[in-house]
């Protein structure tokens, strides 16, 4: 007969799986700059992981974010991106143009079979 100790027990904490824009934002984390060779290639690799309904959802949410932040630019838009959940962004980047491009690519990927 074996004796069990409290050290062998574990606790499982359920968490919501991030989808759409939440997942996209979470993937652009604080170590993003170290993980990928460049900001462009990192964003391209991340967006390539989105398909079908998730890509459509992320694109829609990103378009809503862009509309909601239409009057923001520079540091104000960067702050909104960080508040959205991203932990990193390239220096001297045209944030709005980049996000528009990401939304367009997500929309394209949503139509792929």
Q: How many domains is the chain partitioned into structurally?
A: 1
Let me know if residue 99 belongs to a domain. Answer: yes
Q: What is the pLDDT of residues 65-103, one digit of tens each?
A: 999 999 999 999 999 999 999 999 988 889 999 999 999
Let me know if residue 2 belongs to a domain. Answer: no
CA atoms within 13 A on the CB side of 11: 3
Q: What is the pLDDT of residues 15-47, one digit of tens each?
A: 555 678 888 988 888 888 889 888 889 999 999
Range of the domain at 59: 18-110
pTM: 0.79
CA angle centred on 91, ends 76 and 99, rounded to 5°: 60
């Amino acid at each position: 007969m074996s004796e069990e100790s409290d050290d062998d027990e574990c606790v499982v904490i359920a968490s919501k799986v991030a989808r759409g824009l939440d997942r996209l934002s979470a993937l652009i984390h604080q170590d993003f700059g170290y993980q990928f060779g460049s900001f462009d290639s990192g964003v391209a690799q991340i967006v390539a992981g989105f398909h079908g309904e998730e890509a459509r959802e992320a694109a829609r949410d990103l378009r809503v974010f862009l509309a909601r932040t239409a009057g923001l630019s520079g540091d104000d838009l960067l702050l909104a991106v960080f508040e959205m959940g991203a932990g990193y962004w390239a220096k001297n980047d045209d944030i709005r143009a980049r996000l528009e491009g990401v939304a367009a690519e997500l929309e394209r990927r949503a139509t792929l079979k």
